[in-house]
A = this chain, B = another copy of it.
């Protein structure tokens, strides 16, 4: 019986090029995370010689990824070095979100600073991708024009969609609330940009991880627009699943003999806590103004709305009990539309978790990014790809 090579970490050999790529990334991440720093400070932080770091930094400056701000303020020991900062010009992150009831485009520079955005309200239900993406392309065009004016050029485009995306592809396998099935978005988007398409819950979770305050490295991000999705972050990385379909919290059985769900199952969480279910219980029609209407009614103390949200929170608590037992996360973060309804959902959700899980503390937090999470996560994912592998751009320059 021989031992197969399963599960070997870092199995790629340490070629000179691989080491250079990793070290360039370390310099970028250090300067990005710790603000203006001298070459010497970067060198001591990442454990390389000053000479090695200088070579890497020169390469990053030439590629326009790092800028020199001039001499560091005095008062430090040793010869003053020029402070390095991530560039405020050049490569930037372009993110887009296709929502059921809105479109959004967002631009951040390499420093992670928001630089431009555009938004469009209106239902996309049942519209063909070609039409929806024609609208999106107009917004992208607006933001690109602003980008040019700011001396920024997108290093890629990431698009968040309310549905399942096949792993490592640009194909939306199933977006029930848009009525899209098996549509590749690439042909409808600008051909000159490196394109990523992913589920909105995944991008929302990444935004939480990168931009949230005190976000732990292990959490479940629950997100809702019309459906209920979730993203699972383990050790600071998304758990995507074999096909890219992980995190389908909305179809976890809550009452296994409950009502039939369009997914083919029965008593799925969406049948109790999905927007349609809540709106039905409250007696208002779905549409772009549904969540604001729910929020208004709940805030004004309307009993039927509060009861419907309490029931939804209880159902979320039952489904999340299973998820917590399976994943043992450090926190549960509510994002998307759920974050706006949190004041009326969370008490019932927490009560249910508390009743069912007696060991350990369960931290339920509400995203401060709200419904902007997915588009922010998309834009920042482009920036992170540059920080993770700056050679993609240094080679091109």
Q: Please state if B243 and A328 are interface contacts (CB–CB under 8 Å).
A: yes
Distance of A25 Cα from B9 Cα, bound (Å): 10
Chain B CB within 8 A of A242 CB: yes
Q: A239-B234, A322-B319 are in contact. Are A113 and B1 (CB under 8 A)?
A: yes
Distance of A111 Cα from B5 Cα, bound (Å): 12
Q: A356-B266, A358-B263 are in contact. Are A241 and B6 (CB under 8 A)?
A: no
A interface size (C-beta, 8 A): 90
Chain B CB within 8 A of A252 CB: yes
Instruction: List A residues 66-108 near B (Cβ within 8 Å).
Output: 86
Question: Least Cβ distance of A63 to chain B in Å?
Answer: 17
Distance of A7 Cα from B202 Cα, bound (Å): 14
Distance of A14 Cα from B48 Cα, bound (Å): 9
A325 to B, closest residue via Cβ: B248
Q: Please state if B10 and A10 are interface contacts (CB–CB under 8 Å).
A: yes
Question: Least Cβ distance of A236 to chain B in Å?
Answer: 4
Q: Please state if A218 and B241 are interface contacts (CB–CB under 8 Å).
A: yes
Q: Residues of A at under 8 Å CB distance from B?
A: 1-11, 13-15, 19, 22-23, 25-26, 29-30, 32-35, 46-48, 86, 111-114, 174, 209-211, 215-218, 230, 232, 234, 236-237, 239-256, 263-266, 318-319, 321-323, 325-330, 355-360, 380, 383-384, 387-388
